[in-house]
Amino acid sequence: MWKTIEFYQRTNIINLSYRSLMRRIDLVRGMNNVLRSKVINGSRTLLINYDYIQEYFQRKRKLKLGIDDFNKKMEKKVRKVKSTLIVPDNISKYNIELSINFKDDYDRDYYEYIVKDLFLRTAFDMFYVIEVDSFGYNHLHIGLKGDADELKLILQHTYDNLLLHDYDGEEEKLFSKQTNVAVIRNNNAFLDYIKKDGEIKFLLKKQNLELFEGGK
């Protein structure tokens, strides 16, 4: 998928400095499978193929943190995100359903990190609930207002950061099996379904403006 540099920076998929980013762009100029330009709204804009983000536009990945360090880092990232139990008036505009169940011993805090990481990257308003399935595994249901294709890109990057997937052929099958993105056909029915076993929380951009650059 081709996306603008602004998209990758806004979602923190590319977190290089401006100078480093321009240096990387100079390296791939002429590689039409990686970089291309397009006129959007009267201005020429650079587009990058997501398939090459990891190879050309990422810093070297750090070693996996120990569990104690990981929990400290997770808590630091998510502690400022505010949630509410009040259902917003525009609930009918929530159009995408995301379900995640790794069917392993991931605790509630782990799923809390995933949903809040997605919220901070996408700035999509969303609601979520963490439930326990019949096998005793925690799993996550999310409803959000946004674009399904953008969500999949950002979610894949979130998983990469957590070192859950490397996205070879087998991992892609695993991703598809454990992660489901679909269109919400009936908001009230979806809310009724996910609130049967848990408390629904809403993450709203207007209540977390200080966490987004420029308050936008």
Cα dist. 192→60, 97, 104, 199 in Å? 44, 14, 26, 11
Whether 46 and 54 have beta carbons less than 8 Å apart is answered as no
What pLDDT score was predicted for residue 73? 59
Q: How far apart are CA 99 and CA 92, in angstroms?
A: 19
pLDDT band at residue 59 using 50, 70 and 90 as cut-offs: low
**What's 162's DSSP letter?**
T
What pLDDT score was predicted for residue 104? 77
Q: How far apart are CA 44 and CA 42, in angstroms?
A: 7
What pLDDT score was predicted for residue 166? 43
In the chain, where do the E strands start and end?
2-4, 35-40, 43-49, 96-100, 126-132, 138-144, 179-183, 201-203
What pLDDT score was predicted for residue 141? 92
Residue whose entry in the numeric block shows the structure tokens 């950002």: 154
- Going by CATH, does the domain composed of 67-215 fall within 3.40.1310? yes
Boundaries of every domain in the chain: 2-56, 67-215
